[in-house]
């Protein structure tokens, strides 16, 4: 296993929720990363962010690790969940709520409902 793979594996196993993104949760550097970080922030999810722009090895490594070609990438309890489109769909359908609940991840259910109301 490469150092990059080991670093990725360590990051996703030591944090309940991890978002590999362009930029940071406070300062996203692309619209897709901003959307997913915005949803998680609004819902009050405590998540670790990994800025792939800061490390080219991680930027390519996470794509190879997940076999998913785009960033952002969300992991919950070590499992790859998806990218921006999938997280958006899961948020609007309520599937993200279920996933977080099943994994014991705290979030603001009212905020999640407000997102659905605003986009319904």
Q: Which one-letter DSSP state was computed for residue 52?
A: G
Q: Which one-letter DSSP state was computed for residue 23?
A: B
- pLDDT higher than 80, residue 1: no
d(CA 9, CA 62): 10
Per-residue model confidence (pLDDT) at position 117:
96
How many Cβ atoms from other residues are within 10 Å of residue 98's Cβ? 11
- The structural domain count of the chain equals 1
CATH code of the domain covering residue 78: 3.40.30.10
Q: In this structure, are residues 24 and 51 in contact, taking their beta carbons and an 8 Å threshold?
A: yes
What φ, ψ does residue 54 adopt, rounded to 5°?
-85, -10
The residue range of the domain holding 106 is: 3-119
pTM: 0.96
- pLDDT higher than 90, residue 19: yes
Q: pLDDT tens digit string along 47-59?
A: 999 999 999 999 9
């Amino acid at each position: 296993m490469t150092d990059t793979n080991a670093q990725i594996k360590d990051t996703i196993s030591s944090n309940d929720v991890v978002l590999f993104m362009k930029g940071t949760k406070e300062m996203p550097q692309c619209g897709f990363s901003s959307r997913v970080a915005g949803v998680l922030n609004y819902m009050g999810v405590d998540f670790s962010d990994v800025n792939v722009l800061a490390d080219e090895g991680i930027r390519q490594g996470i794509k190879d690790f997940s076999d998913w070609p785009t960033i952002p990438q969300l992991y919950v309890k070590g499992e790859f969940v998806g990218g921006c489109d999938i997280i958006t769909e899961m948020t609007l359908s309520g599937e993200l709520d279920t996933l977080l609940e099943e994994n014991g991840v705290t979030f603001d259910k009212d905020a999640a409902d407000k997102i659905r109301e605003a986009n319904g």
